[in-house]
Amino acid sequence: MTRALPPDLKTEPLAAHHDRVRFTCGIDSLDQYLQMYAGQDVRRRANSVFVLVDQHEPAGVLGYYTLCATSLSQGDVPIAARKHLPRYPLVSATLVGRLAVAAGRQGQGLGTLLVADAMRRAYASAYVVGSSMLVVDAISEQVVAFYEANSFARLSSSSLRLGLPMAEIGKLITR
């Protein structure tokens, strides 16, 4: 089952009032993305960017993730997941391209909450723009374990890309 957000926390689309400059998660490329590129991506519809904030401190960014449309080759989908997917050469999917929690707030379950929120948004949006799978790109081998603990499975043993069929997400978020 996915965990709901505590009442004092919420996720919302990235907006002008969010303080991107002070966000740091320990990985420069993820900090720089939020500070320099996220707003532009949102304007160009290249990515949707959602931030986690405390309702009592609405400008402070506790974490963020991005979503965009993507596709996978049928051959890249693990055999166990194929029963949930259409047999087209290309499988429509949703990509969590980046996900990060502020350095001072890591290890408190916020990453897990962000993944659950991404699942809920991706599942809801798949009713509007079809998507059979949620895909994540782990930034390192170590982070693969974090996504595996959140129900994702590697697409291949040599890849940092993991996936979870929308059909499985449906069961996780409605249970």
Ligand X SMILES: CC(C)(COP(=O)(O)OP(=O)(O)OC[C@H]1O[C@@H](n2cnc3c(N)ncnc32)[C@H](O)[C@@H]1OP(=O)(O)O)[C@@H](O)C(=O)NCCC(=O)NCCS
Q: Write out the residues near ligand X by the rule CB under 6 A.
A: 25-27, 30, 99-101, 106-112, 138-139, 142-143, 145-146, 149
Q: What's the min distance (Å) between Cβ of 105 and ligand X?
A: 7
For the four alpha carbons of 7, 9, 11 and 13, in that order, the dihedral sign comes to positive
- Based on the residue annotation, tell me whether 147 is a catalytic residue of this protein: yes
125/151 with CB nearer ligand X: 151
30/85 with CB nearer ligand X: 30
d(CA 7, CA 88): 42
Diameter over CA atoms, the chain: 48
Q: What's the min distance (Å) between Cβ of 98 and ligand X?
A: 6
Q: What's the min distance (Å) between Cβ of 26 and ligand X?
A: 5
84/137 with CB nearer ligand X: 137
DSSP 131-152: -SEEEEE-SSHHHHHHHHTTT-
